[in-house]
Amino acid sequence: MVISRDDSAFRWRMAMRFAATRLVGGARFALIVCLVAAMAAVPAEAKKKRKRSHYSPPQAAMVVDFYSGKILYAQNIDAKRYPASVTKVMTLYLLFEQMRDGHMTRNTKLKVSAKAAARPPSKLGLKPGSTISVSDAMYALVTKSANDVAAVVAENIAGSEAAFARMMTQKARAIGMSKTTFRNASGLPNSAQVTTARDLITLGRRVLKDFPDEAKIFRTRYFEYKGRKYRNHNRLLFSYAGMDGLKTGFTRASGFNLLASCHRDDKHLLAVVLGGRSSRRRNARMRTLLNGSWRKAVAFNDWKQRGGSKPLAVAGILQAEHMPERNPAFHPSASEETLRLAIVKANKGRAVGSGEKPLPKLALAGAASATASKPESEPDEAEVVVEPEPEPEPEQGDTDADVIPSDEAVLGPYHIQVGSYLNSGAAKSRLAAVAQKASRYLDGHDEMTVSGNVRGKSYYRARFGKFSRSDASKTCARLKRLSIECLVVRVE
């Protein structure tokens, strides 16, 4: 008799219950002994078969303090592993070099060959003979992890993907990635394309150090191309505070990989997780490693006082001394100020204890609601539930799961203002800081600076756009819980 592992335990329990109720004395004891012996033998065989087919790619992990370079966690950091689509970080590094050296600009058109267009998914679906701009190619590599785009970049820089892979390997050696070899620009399966956790950390440090402005792109959550909107495969960009890149990857041989850069409280961590059994397990592992490393990391100001060098301008995240004041003054437009005064006057005319509720303090243009003063309860970072992800990730199979339709009509004409400044640079800095601190609430909403004139002076208002009336009120209330001053305004 052969019993599968799925139903064997249930059947054996039923048999033992029958024996216990129908037999007595020695007969019952003898039968139970036989059943236990048989149960131990058959499921063991089933367990052995299952173990052989269980998916368990080789793992490695590493966490480094970006400022001091100190290793905060290490597991198999010099063991050779497959990089998968994390490879595209090096592809982008070489593309950034082309732009820096004046050989290309963001507007340069890259030609698409039939060979590049034929690369397997994940892909953007480029047509042979067409072109794609360098700018679109960069965003497609970061978000969609498009293999056809990686091949296009390689061919336009080096003439062929094989030649480009040799350039990648040479650059790897030059920047200290001593155990890395590249055979293609995308990370598609190739047994000779190998790296290590230590080498990938090295790559992450160099791309952020050498190209701080271009590296801002790794924080991109969405990318629109020809009417379709693609979501970044790195789900931690949406759920883990301070996450600003860098790249995910997956092949059957590599498992689920993630090279990450993260900022919190003037600290900066670089981390890599290789060989995750699923994207959810990989993300959970990354969360655990980062959470356990913050207390061991050195804040930049402390590092500087100890004689450390100037920090790297990483991914557009400015250091505290370059940030505008935390609670900036708000300078409403003329129409906003008129309404504000009307609300103040109306509230003063309401007697205390009259039973009437005062008008909301930030109800400019009727946009706010009572929720502005009574924010709903929000979970702590550790309690945030990451939405389920498909397995394998879209990097291996091209589906419509990562295409998000735009619907501005539903979002509505409301903005959330988080500051007002005398120059646009300060406003943009404020937007970057708020976007980093409250990414889970502001994801998908445009960052903008709206200029205006107050008492003869020009001000630049830092705003997040494309909210509905109710969503703007709720989001502003949540931002206040994070000590971020804000107000809701209707688009003028």
Give, to the nearest 10 degrees, the angle between helix 5-22 and helix 25-53.
170
Residues for the chain: how many in total?
492
Q: The CATH number of the domain where 419 resides is what?
A: 3.30.70.1070
For 34, residues 6+ apart whose C-beta sits below 8 A from its C-beta are none
Asked whether residue 343 falls in the same domain as residue 418, the answer is: yes
Residue 420 pLDDT: 83
Asked whether residue 450 falls in the same domain as residue 414, the answer is: yes
Asked whether residue 381 falls in the same domain as residue 401, the answer is: yes
In a domain, 328, yes or no: no
Residues of the chain where predicted confidence (pLDDT) is lower than 50: 1-6, 47-53, 310-329, 331-333, 335-336, 350-411
Residue 237 structure tokens = 């960009």
Asked whether residue 217 falls in the same domain as residue 202, the answer is: yes
Q: Are 481 and 447 in contact (CB under 8 A)?
A: no
In a domain, 329, yes or no: no
Residue 235 pLDDT: 93
Residue 142 pLDDT: 96
Number of domains making up the chain: 3
Q: Which domain holds residue 32?
A: 5-53
Asked whether residue 393 falls in the same domain as residue 480, the answer is: yes
For 18, residues 6+ apart whose C-beta sits below 8 A from its C-beta are none
In a domain, 246, yes or no: yes
Asked whether residue 102 falls in the same domain as residue 29, the answer is: no
Exposed e or buried b per residue across 246-267, where buried means at least 16 C-beta atoms within 10 angstroms of its C-beta: bbbbbbeebbbbbbbbbbbebb
Asked whether residue 383 falls in the same domain as residue 253, the answer is: no
pLDDT in tens, 150-202: 999 999 999 999 999 999 999 999 999 999 999 999 999 999 999 999 999 99
pLDDT in tens, 26-82: 555 555 555 555 555 555 555 444 444 488 999 999 999 998 889 999 999 999 999
In a domain, 123, yes or no: yes
Residue 480 pLDDT: 86
In a domain, 323, yes or no: no
Residue 349 pLDDT: 53
Residue 346 pLDDT: 57
Asked whether residue 105 falls in the same domain as residue 249, the answer is: yes
Distance separating alpha carbons of residues 283 and 384, to the nearest angstrom? 12
Q: Are 326 and 462 in contact (CB under 8 A)?
A: no
In a domain, 17, yes or no: yes
Asked whether residue 154 falls in the same domain as residue 212, the answer is: yes
Asked whether residue 296 falls in the same domain as residue 438, the answer is: no
Q: Give the 3-state DSSP-derived string for the chain, with helices as H, strands as E and coil as C.
A: CCCCHHHHHHHHHHHHHHHHHHCCHHHHHHHHHHHHHHHHHHHHHHHHHHHHHCCCCCCEEEEEECCCCCEEEEECCCCCECCHHHHHHHHHHHHHHHHHCCCCCCCCEEECCHHHHCCCCCCCCCCCCCEEEHHHHHHHHHHHCCHHHHHHHHHHHHCCHHHHHHHHHHHHHHCCCCCCECCCCCCCCCCCCEECHHHHHHHHHHHHHHCCCHHHHHHCCEEEECCEEEECCCCHHHHCCCEEEEEEEEECCCEEEEEEEEEECCEEEEEEEEEECCHHHHHHHHHHHHHCCHHHCCCHHHHHHCCCCCCCCCCCCCCHHHCCCCCCCCCCCHHHHHHHHHHHHHHHCCCCCCCCCCCCCCCHHHCCCHHHCCCCCCCCHHHCCCCCCCCCCCCCCCCHHHECCCCHHHHCCEEEEEEEECCHHHHHHHHHHHHHHCHHHHCCCCEEEEEEEECCEEEEEEEEEEECHHHHHHHHHHHHHCCCCCEEEECC
Asked whether residue 110 falls in the same domain as residue 233, the answer is: yes
For residue 469, which phi and psi values (nearest 5 degrees)?
-60, -50
In a domain, 324, yes or no: no
In a domain, 327, yes or no: no
Asked whether residue 48 falls in the same domain as residue 66, the answer is: no
Distance separating alpha carbons of residues 148 and 115, to the nearest angstrom? 9
Q: The CATH number of the domain where 169 resides is what?
A: 3.40.710.10
